Chains A and B, each alone.
Chain A
Amino acid sequence: QKEVEQDPGPLSVPEGAIVSLNCTYSNSAFQYFMWYRQYSRKGPELLMYTYSSGNKEDGRFTAQVDKSSKYISLFIRDSQPSDSATYLCAMSRGSGNTGKLIFGQGTTLQVKP
């Protein structure tokens, strides 16, 4: 069983829809939770970063962490065609672990105009 599970999709939504992307994990030691966005033929870029449980909002993006359920989510409001990309969740046990990240498989999102 992988430490981090993510539905690979693909997920196709109309422009303006609310998108929900999710990951589950098995290691309760994870403390840092990230979402990376990866456009085709590009490297991943950090989108959201959360420490421990709770919500974090940045513009149209909201990241949620529920450590009791070992579940993290990324919500995209008013989705745009420019949001079409692969979204990767990532997590780590903290700075004592030299920053090694464990990634989910990535979910491919397509937002249709």
Chain B
Amino acid sequence: NAGVTQTPKFQVLKTGQSMTLQCAQDMNHNSMYWYRQDPGMGLRLIYYSASEGTTDKGEVPNGYNVSRLNKREFSLRLESAAPSQTSVYFCASRLTGDEKLFFGSGTQLSVL
């Protein structure tokens, strides 16, 4: 049982480059989330998808786009990466009606 799987684990980008972070869950969860974690800031919600076919902005959505490809997969795209987007990105999922989130192992992204 893999849970929440994120790829890649590490990535280095140059300013202005684009990339997509992939996330898949095998727990049949309805809701999926993208968080970023920065030192001293805790985890902050970027975007979430309450169910297949819907997406909504979280606390820090600027500079990002998301796609809920199907029930299992939720991707995060950086169209034009900036140094301020250097962070560790976590994907999470939960079952509708349950407040508990299950997290992936993260993607460490550096934008130079």
Residues of A within 8 A of B (CB): 4, 6, 8, 32, 34, 36, 41-46, 49, 88, 90, 92, 94-95, 98-101, 103-106
Contacts of A94 in B (CB 8 A): 99
Contact A104 B42 (CB under 8 A): yes
In the assembled complex, the CB of B29 is this many whole angstroms from the nearest CB of chain A, namely 10
Q: Given A32-B99, A95-B99, A98-B31, do A43 and B90 touch, yes or no (CB 8 Å)?
A: yes
Q: Which one of B31, B99, B104 contacts A34 once the chains associate, using CB atoms below 8 Å?
A: B99
Contacts of A4 in B (CB 8 A): 42
Contacts A41-B106, A43-B4, A98-B50 aside, 4 further interface pairs with beta carbons under 8 A come to: A36-B103, A49-B99, A90-B43, A98-B48
Residues of B within 8 A of A (CB): 4, 31, 33, 40-45, 48, 50, 56, 58, 90, 92, 94, 96-106, 108
Contacts of A46 in B (CB 8 A): 100-102
In the assembled complex, the CB of B95 is this many whole angstroms from the nearest CB of chain A, namely 9
Contact A45 B103 (CB under 8 A): yes
A45 to B105, CA, bound (A): 10
Give me 27 A-to-B residue pairs in the complex whose CB atoms sit less than 8 angstroms apart, sorted by A's number: A4-B42, A32-B99, A34-B99, A36-B103, A41-B105, A41-B108, A42-B106, A43-B105, A44-B43, A44-B103, A45-B103, A88-B42, A90-B43, A95-B96, A98-B48, A98-B56, A99-B48, A99-B94, A99-B98, A99-B101, A100-B33, A101-B43, A101-B99, A101-B101, A103-B42, A103-B43, A103-B44
